[in-house]
Amino acid sequence: MCRILSLFFALTCSAFAGDLQLTLPPVVYATPDVPMSIYHDNIVLTETPEAYRFEFTCKLGKNEERRWTLTPSDADVGDHPLAITVKDAGGKVVEQGRTMLHISPRKSASTKPLRLLIVGDSLTHASVYPNEIARLLALPGNPKATLLGTHKPAGAQPGVAHEGYGGWKWSDFLIKFAPETPGVAAGPVARKATSPFIFPAADGKTGVFDLQRYFKEHCGNQSPDVVTFLLGINDCFGADPNNPDTKINEVLDNADKLLAAFHKAAPNAKLAVGLTTPPNARQEGFTANYKDKYPRWGWKRIQHRIVQLMLKCLSNREKDGIFIVPTELDLDPVDGYPNNNGVHPNPVGYAQIGASFYSWMKARL
């Protein structure tokens, strides 16, 4: 299986050289009765995806105007090769790539209770996709799930907790610390300035990164089975769209440090890294947020490159406990966003992110 996935990854990476930079993960995940899609705009780098023809070759699913889509049945469980060909308006082949569609059984093989920790930025703070993960995990056929974390915003459903904070970066979880306001030991006031994984040192002025203490005090003295991460937007938003690699590689170094720390503290945990999500397809969403100071096309170029470098740096890292989750594919860049926001989805888009994480988990449970 590893040899097959390596081959698919090599074929996918070769597409980076083309003008459209067709970019696919080695595996995409699905589960019976949970809709999933691959949106054309999310896999290529162009301002005009509608100018191209996207052809999908797979025995399952159907190709529509803006996406290839599938709602699997129980009979579809298994691995299905998926090939994509992109043609210009004249029918000339411009790009080709392949991936593997993995559909997991409805009933998980394991009955062991699942301990899940969700880490992220404002997309996680909104709590909509964590709520969706919790809803899906509560369906018949899944083990009992406990969502860990100290952060329970107003939008979180009962039983839903996480570590998601607006504006946060990979590095913030490693170093963000400020002496707590007297009498404030936890909650939004303390957490806004301090990583949940950092605790005051004896002098009260410096912080100590201590995941073991976090697990002991906030996770019932047990490590999580799965930790999901969805970060990267805040880290790279200020990168140069014409030359983003230096900044992105710096960010991925910080990601590596945080992931290594989790692997050391919880060596049996699966660390599921979501690929940075695509932007709203409409410029008006960026105009509403940033006026004329930040164009959608600038962020699209950065985001697409982040995904490419994440695939390069984090794929085939299972021995380090690291797994890639293709959260960038199944997020509708039109109907999954409000008109007035560039990077924060609406409930439809958030639910798609949750479904992507869930289907990956089903492949591992």
pTM for the complete prediction? 0.93
Sign for the pseudo-dihedral over CA of 135, 137, 142, 145: negative
Q: List the chain domain ranges.
A: 2-103, 114-364
The arithmetic mean of pLDDT across residues 145-167, rounded, is: 96
In three-state secondary structure terms, 115 is: strand
Lowest mean pLDDT among 82-91, 135-144, 196-205, 232-241: 196-205
| Pairing label, strands 198-200, 114-120 | unpaired
The arithmetic mean of pLDDT across residues 193-219, rounded, is: 94
User: Do 2-103 and 114-364 come out as alike in CATH topology?
Assistant: no
pLDDT for res 365? 84
pLDDT for res 186? 57
> Cα separation of 88 and 78, whole Å?
33
Q: What percent of the chain has pLDDT over 90?
A: 87
pLDDT for res 126? 97
For residue 208, the cross-strand partners are 199
Instruction: Please say whether the beta carbons of 29 and 104 come within 8 A.
Output: yes
The arithmetic mean of pLDDT across residues 3-23, rounded, is: 56
- Measured between its terminal Cα atoms, the distance across the chain in Å is 18
pLDDT for res 187? 57
pLDDT for res 111? 86
In three-state secondary structure terms, 299 is: helix
Q: Provide the total of helices (H) and of strands (E) in the chain, helices listed first.
A: 11, 15
The arithmetic mean of pLDDT across residues 113-119, rounded, is: 97
pLDDT at 14 over 70: no
pLDDT for res 12? 46
pLDDT for res 216? 97
> Cα separation of 217 and 225, whole Å?
17
- In words, the CATH class of domain 2-103 is mainly beta
Q: What is the CATH number of domain 114-364?
A: 3.40.50.1110
Residue 5 has which token pair?
A: 């996935």
pLDDT for res 185? 56
pLDDT at 120 over 90: yes
Reading phi first (left if > 0) and then psi (alpha if -120 to 50, else beta), residue 86 is in beta
Higher pLDDT, 3 or 364: 364
Cα 43–chain centre separation = 15
Across the chain, mean pLDDT equals 92
pLDDT at 197 over 90: yes
**Phi, psi (deg, nearest 5) at residue 89:** -60, -25
Question: In whole angstroms, how far apart are CA 98 and each of 43, 64, 162?
Answer: 12, 18, 34
Question: In whole angstroms, how far apart are CA 284 and each of 92, 308, 342?
Answer: 32, 26, 8
